[in-house]
Structure 1
Amino acid sequence: MPNPLNSQAFFDESGNLTQNLLIKGNNLLALHSLKDRLAGQVKLIYIDPPYNTGSDSFKYNDNFNHSSWLVFMKNRLEIAKELLRDDGVIFVSIDDNEQAYLKVLMDEVFGRENFVNNLIWEKKYAPQNDAKWFSDNHDHIICFAKNKENWRPNLLPRTDEMNARYKNPDNDPRGLWKAGDLLRKDEQISGLFTIVTPNGRICNPPKGTSWRTTKQGYEELVADNRIWFGKDGNNVPAIKRFLSEVKDGVTPLTIWKYTEVGHNQDAKKEVKEFDSKTVFDTPKPEKLLQRIIHIATNKNDIVLDFCLGSGTTCAVAHKMGRRWIGIEQMDYIEDITLTRLIHVLNGEQGGISKAVDWQGGGEFVYFELKKYNLYFMEKIQNAKTMGELDTVYNEMAKNAFFKFWFDKDDFQKAYKKDADNNQISLDERKEILINVLDENQLYLNYADMDDARFKVSDDEKALSKAFYGA
């Protein structure tokens, strides 16, 4: 990982991002911070947001009321859309709890005409026999394009299983082939004619069907040895489809089996390779992200995940030769996410590494949005005694941004005693202190960094100026 102050510029002369970015901070503010430099540059956004289940499995407030959760998502999706290229696409993992509502919300943000598909991922390999109603074994992945007419998915590689269906029983010099149906499921007058097999069997299309070709077209296929009547020459005719003539890949299906893209237990094992703690209940396997990134991007495209979690999206993007941006606000970014990505640079062999022949290398820049009022909030929450809390308040009184209605004299009277002149508890004092802080000043604005009160280091100033091109 480079020292950002000595590395190449964040952007080239054309304004294109040249560095991979790992950012700690509120994802909504981070997205807005990126907008001026990165609007219209991101090819793929993948997010695995809090599912609003009440389980708190993502270490966020995963228990919003329904309307708050939708507002939370709407604010972030709107700015995310601005970051997408015109041929960009977004994939969002979600469960049944909010899937239908998220689809309608994304219709509003991206336009219903830009809905691509609702993919089904089989996330579990075994049934949950103690389930009260049904054994939940899938998640949804909702896909929208910024402009559907400008985006097409890349084909998936053909598998050995697919190719094994091709044989060559008649030793055709064109190689392996498989028999395809010559019938179509509707009646076209041009396809209603009689075929006589080499052994004299008369074949007519069943009622309601017709041949896929005209009589003249059929005769041309026979002349080119593209019709198969079976080894004895007496079967219903079929058309020969040669392996050498099929597309190099296959169009993605909408149901993704765990045998193809992994399951939750695979993902947990991948995370435990570099961290033994159990922090994430539902991480996503690298093979799942490999498929999404393969379908949606090409080499050097930018991939963004602003609900990064354990870092799977960025780890896979790095191994696949994509540029990436990851945003995470929780403190585990330092112990887990950052550690994981350093392991990737060092050539770790978990996840998809062997499949893509990953040997290590590359770089990224890690930085944080500089805290301001958030710094005081954390100090308040961590205070263990009244004395510690008083120390925090004294520092706040000199430096914090307070809400417009805050009156220092009135506040000091109410800070330690309630309306009945009774002493208030430590937790009650914490709540009072947090309530007077201005939530619009959780992080320090770029315009204020030269103010000596905020103690911004020269290195921090240099990094900020390098990013914003100042």
Structure 2
Amino acid sequence: PYNTNASEILYKNGFKHSAWNTLIENRVSEGYQLLSERGIQVFTIDDYELENSIFINNEIFGAENHLATVPIRNNPQGRSTVSGFSINHEYAIFHRKTDLVESVGRLPRNDTQNQRYNETDENGLKYLWENFRKTGTDSSRKDRPKQFYPIVLSGNKIFIPEMYWNDENDEWDYDLSQYHSNDIIFPIDSTGTERVWKWGVDRAKKEIAHLKCEIVRGRYEVYRRNYINDDGKLPGTWWDDSAYAAGSHGTNLLSSMFTRDRLFLFPKSFKAVIDSLKVAGAHKESLILDYFAGSASTGHAVIAMNDDDNGSRRSILIEQGDYFDIITKPRMLKCIFSSQWKDGKATQIRNKSCIIKTIK
């Protein structure tokens, strides 16, 4: 429940903030107890209760387990407000249960992203060349002194010279007197700032075949092979795919499955739920709990994910609204029967078994 008039549901939107906070804190606390030690919670909300939502979840999970707050462009047309701004987005807040969760799940790349990996090695693996010099956070020499070392160019090959770590000076000792200064490359950028290489000395020596040197704008640059990850790309912190639009991929999807329009106000985009589950690490054997089930978007997403990778994920949906018998349960029955609907009729049969148990 978003606690706004724009998201009318049975939980009496318009609560004072304190009452809403109590409602959410009680339920998130219970959900926390049920969550796996390696589990991730996804909590969606809009601007009206964003700050309270982050505070409550940080209190329960710990601020150190707040992985990200991701804006999702779920309403490209916009929703008018009294302030004069048009609201185009909501947020997905990701919290892990413990530090046993070392990374989040990956998302599929689109065709444009896949085309960037336009090189193929001797084993048929795809990769692209990227600069070996590190940029951004922790990229200066003082941040990672052991990753500041010379690379020597000899003919068409490069190698890492012998060197020894000097604890007193916090730097590498080496003898480069036999090499021409033009053939010695350090991770110094075009502004003269001392950066670092992306790998340490040992790994660079081990994977030297994955490095190359080129002249770019009159200076030597070292590049490394960046292999495509078959699991996909790291999720960004801004989701703006057109498939995240709640109207075309939420409301319209429900309209195709049922003969009546507007059975449920503001259903989430089916694609946004799937990607949220992927980022939360919903592997083939996962059990997913949604205790504000609404129109059963989460349950539908779980069925679709199983169809996509032959998984056996299970979902538990909890809902107390009258629309449980009108939309929540019927939608689950329909998506089990078929993945394609038009005007309330299935256009193909799914031909896969599934068990639904209803407890009241």
TM tier, smaller: 0.7 to 0.9
Does 1:294 find its partner at 2:278? yes
The residue number in structure 2 matching 1:178 is 128
Q: How does 1:62-81 map to 2 (within 5 A)?
A: 62-81=13-32
219 and 285 in structure 1: CA distance in 2 versus 1, 3 angstrom threshold: closer
- AA partner of residue 112 (structure 1): A
TM-score (ref. length: structure 2): 0.73
71 and 348 in structure 1: CA distance in 2 versus 1, 3 angstrom threshold: same
Larger Rg: 1
Q: How does 1:48-87 map to 2 (within 5 A)?
A: 50-87=1-38
Does 1:282 find its partner at 2:262? no
Q: What's the CA shift string for 1:249-290, capped at 9, x where partnerless? A: 322222222336444432111111123231433211111111
The residue number in structure 1 matching 2:51 is 100
- AA partner of residue 128 (structure 2): K
- AA partner of residue 364 (structure 1): I
The answer as to whether partners of 2:290 and 2:316 remain within 8 angstroms in 1 is yes
State how far apart, in whole Å, the 1-side matches of 2:217 and 2:257 are.
Answer: 62
State how far apart, in whole Å, the 2-side matches of 1:291 and 1:250 are.
Answer: 12
* Partner SS for 1:98: helix
- The answer to which structure has the higher strand fraction is 2
Higher relative contact order (CA 8 A, sep 6+): 1
330 and 237 in structure 1: CA distance in 2 versus 1, 3 angstrom threshold: same
- Return the offset for 1:122: 1.2
* Partner SS for 2:288: strand
Does 1:309 find its partner at 2:294? yes
Structure 2: 5+ residue stretches without partners: 157-179, 307-311, 343-348
The answer as to whether partners of 2:337 and 2:350 remain within 8 angstroms in 1 is no
Q: What's the CA shift string for 1:324-375, capped at 9, x where partnerless? A: 1111111111121221111112123269xxxxx965430202232xxxxxxx
* Partner SS for 2:295: coil
- AA partner of residue 291 (structure 1): D
State how far apart, in whole Å, the 1-side matches of 2:227 and 2:242 are.
Answer: 25
- AA partner of residue 63 (structure 2): R
- Return the offset for 1:302: 1.4
For residue 242 of structure 2, the aligned residue among 259, 263, 267 is 259
* Partner SS for 2:257: coil
* Partner SS for 1:177: strand
The residue number in structure 1 matching 2:159 is none
Does 1:328 find its partner at 2:319? yes
State how far apart, in whole Å, the 1-side matches of 2:121 and 2:93 are.
Answer: 44
Structure 1: 5+ residue stretches without partners: 1-49, 352-356, 369-470
The residue number in structure 2 matching 1:154 is 105
The residue number in structure 2 matching 1:461 is none
The answer as to whether partners of 1:53 and 1:63 remain within 8 angstroms in 2 is yes
| Root-mean-square deviation (Å) | 3.5
The answer as to whether partners of 2:108 and 2:231 remain within 8 angstroms in 1 is yes
TM-score (ref. length: structure 1): 0.57
State how far apart, in whole Å, the 1-side matches of 2:201 and 2:28 are.
Answer: 55
For residue 346 of structure 1, the aligned residue among 307, 313, 337 is 337
- AA partner of residue 310 (structure 1): S
Q: How does 1:155-304 map to 2 (within 5 A)?
A: 155-168=106-119, 173=122, 176-184=126-134, 185-187=139-141, 188=145, 191=148, 193=150, 205-206=188-189, 207-210=192-195, 212=197, 224=209, 226-229=211-214, 236-243=220-227, 246=229, 248-259=231-242, 261-275=244-258, 276-296=260-280, 297-304=282-289
